[in-house]
Amino acid sequence: MGGGIATTLVSASYLLAAALFITGLKRMSSPVTARGGIVWAGVGMVVATVATFFTPDLSNFALIMVAIALGGGVAWITGKRVAMTDMPQMIALYNGMGGGAAAAIAAVELFKGEAHSGVVLALAVLGGLIGAVSFSGSLIAFGKLQDLIKRSFRFRGQNIVNLAVLLASVLVGGSLVFAAMGPAAGVVTLFFGLALVLGVTMTLPIGGADMPVVISLYNALTGLAVAFEGFVLNNAAMIIAGVVVGSAGTLLTQLMARAMNRSLANVLFSGFGETAGPQGEVSGSMKGIDAADVGVMMAFAQKVIIVPGYGMAVAQAQHKVWELAKLLQDRGVTVKFAIHPVAGRMPGHMNVLLAEAGVPYDVIYDESEINAEFDNTDVALIIGANDVVNPAARTDKSSPIYGMPILNADKARNVIVIKRGKGSGFSGIENGLFFLDNTHMLYGDGQAMAAALIQSVKAL
């Protein structure tokens, strides 16, 4: 980049944008300042985008503006409309778009075949590879969570096939870097084709339950791809923002994997998500109860802990559940919400869903804060949660979820489980909690049952 006032202004704007991104992310890590955080980052994005129009030697302005209006417009509409329950797959989709954009930058640079140094070419190729994998992989993740892809495709030697595709992409990519005549168009096409296939074959075998970890990983990867393309384009804002997201995303991925008691390698290469086979059958029987009895039980309790799961959100019961909680609070009952890190479909997803219903975040506790309290709790109301309250995680070494931190709901004096039917949870594991002496099952739709409980408490 040469001198010139325009260049200086663009660079200064990028510096400002990078500072705003970092400040924004920092503010987003506390619930008190989080709302402002995204606005700060948003200002940074606008500053950087506007400044880019003043980059010297740019043309095709009309095309640029049409593309921004098109991509931005579609994303605006879908983003405004998506239900909170579907948030994880939407994040995957937008993330995939970012990966695709990074790959597109790499493709343009490689097709141009301008004289770059070997290091720059290598970064362009690497960023293109990661971006393309993140693009196609995120689309598959979206399809799975959106139920467009119903099953996991798995076959013998899958890891070997993936490894072969990876090696082929790296070899073809490497040949692009070392090509004496500059990258040939056919080879560039082959390279991106292989990278896209790799994203698909890597993601298809992974089960729905593990998808959040994968989405988070692709988020980090997209950050890295953006940073690499930033080096190619000499763009400091892309480098800084990309690397910050890359490292923050890696940490976030580890936190999520840990909350699910899985290692990242395990998620990527073993594909447990849906295969949990037959385990030790749980003996005993489930005892039903009706809503009127549960209403009485809760209304005269000292302390009630509500454990919501994704099932509650699917039944759209969160508003009713909060109404019930307020009713109990008015009667002097202490009501707390206990949220497992992986409740919902992604760590923190349940908090979003409760927030949507108007539940203040300071009556919501996570597993480490509240687990000691179940001992002196009169009623634990479990609605739509299953695996995260399965005591097998503490006791049964043969269980696939053994060792996963769980909510000790079984230690409450009474456990009420609102459940649609007798089936097992997302992971397909039988839950011993349902068969305990102090557990009663309230069969029915989450929303209908919550409404019935409200009626019975009101009637007292």
Partner 1 sequence: MIDGFIALYIFMLAAFTGYEVIGRVPTILHTPLMSGSNFVHGIVLVGAMVALGRASTTLEMVIGFLGVALGAGNAVGGYVVTERMLEMFRSSKPSGTGQTSGKQH
Binding residue for partner 1 (CB under 8 A) from 187, 255, 286, 292?
A: 255
Distance of closest approach, residue 336 Cβ to partner 1, in angstroms: 5
How far is the C-alpha of 389 from the C-alpha of 430, rounded, in Å? Answer: 11
CB 142 within 8 A of CB 96: yes
How far is the C-alpha of 123 from the C-alpha of 129, rounded, in Å? Answer: 10
How far is the C-alpha of 219 from the C-alpha of 247, rounded, in Å? Answer: 10
CB 257 within 8 A of CB 267: yes
Contact between 445 and partner 1 (CB under 8 A)?
A: no
CB atoms under 10 Å from CB of 423, counted, come to 9
CB atoms under 10 Å from CB of 291, counted, come to 21
Contact between 21 and partner 1 (CB under 8 A)?
A: yes
Is the alpha carbon torsion for 365, 367, 372, 376 positive or negative? positive
Contact between 280 and partner 1 (CB under 8 A)?
A: no
Contact between 1 and partner 1 (CB under 8 A)?
A: yes
What is the phi/psi pair of residue 378, to 5°? Answer: -80, -45
Distance of closest approach, residue 350 Cβ to partner 1, in angstroms: 9
Distance of closest approach, residue 292 Cβ to partner 1, in angstroms: 24
Cβ nearer to partner 1, comparing 86 with 445 = 86
How far is the C-alpha of 333 from the C-alpha of 247, rounded, in Å? Answer: 44
**What is the contact mask toward partner 1 in residues 22 to 61, using x (rule: CB under 8 A)?**
x-xxx-xxxxx-xx-xxx-xx--x--xx-xxx-x-xxxxx
Cβ nearer to partner 1, comparing 9 with 64 = 64
Contact between 83 and partner 1 (CB under 8 A)?
A: no
Amino acid at 410: D
3-state secondary structure 54-66: CCCCCCCHHHHHH
Binding residue for partner 1 (CB under 8 A) from 158, 355, 413, 443?
A: 355
Q: Is 387 a catalytic residue?
A: yes
Distance of closest approach, residue 147 Cβ to partner 1, in angstroms: 19
Distance of closest approach, residue 255 Cβ to partner 1, in angstroms: 7
Residue 353, both tokens: 């869903």
Contact between 128 and partner 1 (CB under 8 A)?
A: no
Note the helical H segments in 331-437.
Answer: 349-356, 367-370, 392-395
Binding residue for partner 1 (CB under 8 A) from 15, 16, 94, 170?
A: 94
Cβ nearer to partner 1, comparing 273 with 347 = 347
Query: Nearest Cα to 27, choosing from 45, 41, 46?
Result: 41
Distance of closest approach, residue 215 Cβ to partner 1, in angstroms: 8
Q: Of the listed 387, 396, 410, 437, which one is catalytic?
A: 387
Contact between 178 and partner 1 (CB under 8 A)?
A: no
How far is the C-alpha of 72 from the C-alpha of 454, rounded, in Å? Answer: 43
- Secondary-structure percent of the chain, ordered helix, strand, coil, rounded to 5: 65, 5, 30
Going from the C-alpha of 365 to that of each of 33, 162, 226, 335, 351, the distances in angstroms are 19, 41, 36, 11, 10
Contact between 9 and partner 1 (CB under 8 A)?
A: no
How far is the C-alpha of 98 from the C-alpha of 225, rounded, in Å? Answer: 9
Cβ nearer to partner 1, comparing 98 with 173 = 98
CB 200 within 8 A of CB 95: no
- Give the binding-site size for partner 1 (rule: CB under 8 A): 131
Going from the C-alpha of 66 to that of each of 61, 63, 71, 108, the distances in angstroms are 9, 5, 9, 18
Cβ nearer to partner 1, comparing 26 with 154 = 26
Binding residue for partner 1 (CB under 8 A) from 15, 16, 197, 243?
A: 243
User: Which residues are CB-neighbours of 150 under 8 A, at least 6 positions away?
Assistant: none
Query: In the window 296-325, what residues touch partner 1 (CB under 8 A)?
Result: 302
Distance of closest approach, residue 28 Cβ to partner 1, in angstroms: 5
Contact between 164 and partner 1 (CB under 8 A)?
A: no
- Of 174-182, 222-230, 268-276, 443-451, the segment contacting partner 1 by CB under 8 A is 222-230
What is the phi/psi pair of residue 403, to 5°? Answer: 95, -15
- Of 173-181, 196-204, 351-359, 428-436, the segment contacting partner 1 by CB under 8 A is 351-359
Contact between 237 and partner 1 (CB under 8 A)?
A: yes
Binding residue for partner 1 (CB under 8 A) from 145, 256, 409, 436?
A: 256
Exposed, middle or buried: residue 187 (CB in 10 Å: 0-12, 13-18, 19+)? middle
Contact between 146 and partner 1 (CB under 8 A)?
A: no
Cβ nearer to partner 1, comparing 46 with 161 = 46
Distance of closest approach, residue 167 Cβ to partner 1, in angstroms: 26
- Residues classed as catalytic: 387
